[in-house]
Amino acid sequence: MTSFDKRTAADPATASAAAPAETPFLSVRDLKVHFSTEDGTVKAVDGLSFDLMRGKTLGIVGESGSGKSVTNLTILGLHDKRSTTVEGSIVLDGQELTGAGDRTLEKLRGNKMSMIFQDALTSLSPYHTVGRQIGEVYAKHTGCSKKEARARAVEMLRRVGIPQPDMRVDDYPHQFSGGMRQRAMIAMALVCDPELLIADEPTTALDVTVQAQILDLLKDLQREFGTAIIFITHDLGVIADLADDVMVMYGGRVVERGTKEEVLETPDHPYTWGLLSSVPRLDASVDVPLVPIPGSPPSLLNPPSGCRFNPRCAYASEVGDGVCTVERPPLVLTAGRGAACHLTPEQKKTIFTDTVQPLLG
Ligand code: SF4
């Protein structure tokens, strides 16, 4: 069973044939995150719904500004509350997080949910040893002694594969390599055994060998702790390696979702076709060209009406009558699988077979 198999009718942009069979660990419904700026309101996330089960990994893909990072900062309660309006519902293990106070959210962060950021160097303080920083998180949530906190830091460094952890625990971040710093940050994120881990492009700055080691580490840790993971990335190779389910975001909305196999092997939305056609594949013939998506992501201050992808979509004319520029396509899900697009299933099948599949090699 996938995390997407449990939709409810609570998402106004969603019609589902699947009935809930199991309580999701994280349930997001019709989430809207809007920022007030001098130039107007930025609709960073505009009606997002998804579920995540324990022990599963949800991959969120999309270009910069698609709303993926904002979604996760909002789940953690790390958004700027003065300038941000949050609507909808975020339920974590039965507890509603929207509207929850700072103290509640702070208690949940670390204990129940945790985040790995992209850049370990800016996330770790240069003034304190790695061990102290990991131990402090543990001590804050458990009230343990300094000695116990240090022992826990050593244990976590060992668990994430740092050699000689009982010595390296007293190193400062600059004494660690980039890969080791990332591991140290994972150790810090996992020190309180969080049940939800949000990883925001955690391997982007690393070389491919270290990246593979970090992904293996996350898989091992998930097996060990049963952690639910949200993995944010623009790298479809990482999605193929790690995710159970995939959510493709564009312009603050979900445009496609399904299992990893469904989305990567039989993509159903023109934006996903574009993403897949624009990345190199080791198994593709050298004769297959890479085709970038024309144009750039939409301004969320003044997003396009109708389908937000319409200014960049090569197939809007197939729908005809300017429908794509006027009507928002609903995300219609069947057993957790679907895409938000006005093309008919027959049109999509023809386009995919004749135009997209040859580009995927
Ligand atoms: Fe393209 Fe129209 Fe589908 Fe949007 S709804 S992806 S513009 S065909």
Residue whose CA is at the smallest distance from ligand 1 atom 7: 310
Q: Does residue 5 belong to any structural domain of this protein? A: no
Residue 176 CB less than 6 A away from ligand 1: no
**The pLDDT value given to residue 1:** 38
Dihedral, 60, 61, 66, 70 alpha carbons, nearest 10? 30
Element (H, E) at 72: helix 68-76
Element (H, E) at 155: helix 146-159
Q: What's the predicted TM-score (pTM) here?
A: 0.86
Q: Does residue 248 belong to any structural domain of this protein? A: no
**The pLDDT value given to residue 222:** 87
**The pLDDT value given to residue 283:** 60
Residue 306 CB less than 6 A away from ligand 1: no
Q: Which of 153, 151, 170, 242 is nearest to 201 (CA)?
A: 242
Average pLDDT over residues 225-242: 88
- Residue 47 Cα to ligand 1 midpoint, Å, equals 18
**The pLDDT value given to residue 350:** 94
Q: Does residue 253 belong to any structural domain of this protein? A: no
**pLDDT-based confidence at residue 7 (cuts at 50, 70, 90):** very low
- Residue 65 Cα to ligand 1 midpoint, Å, equals 19
Examine the domain organization and report whether 234 and 278 are in the same domain: no
Examine the domain organization and report whether 96 and 155 are in the same domain: yes
Examine the domain organization and report whether 225 and 281 are in the same domain: no
In tens, the pLDDT along 12-38 reads: 344 344 444 678 999 999 999 999 888
**The pLDDT value given to residue 287:** 63
Q: How many domains does the chain have?
A: 2
**The pLDDT value given to residue 318:** 93
**The pLDDT value given to residue 8:** 34
Residue 184 CB less than 6 A away from ligand 1: no
**The pLDDT value given to residue 12:** 36
- Residue 287 Cα to ligand 1 midpoint, Å, equals 28
- Residue 315 Cα to ligand 1 midpoint, Å, equals 6
Residue 255 CA: nearest ligand 1 atom is 6
Examine the domain organization and report whether 125 and 27 are in the same domain: yes
DSSP string, 15-60: EE-PPP-S--SEEEEEEEEEEEETTEEEEEEEEEEEEE-TT-EEEE
Q: Are 303 and 251 in contact (CB under 8 A)?
A: yes
Alpha helix locations (H) across 260-315? Answer: 260-265, 270-277
Q: Give the range of the structural domain holding residue 332, as residue numbers without chain letter.
A: 267-360
Q: Does residue 4 belong to any structural domain of this protein? A: no
**The pLDDT value given to residue 17:** 43
Q: Are 257 and 246 in contact (CB under 8 A)?
A: yes
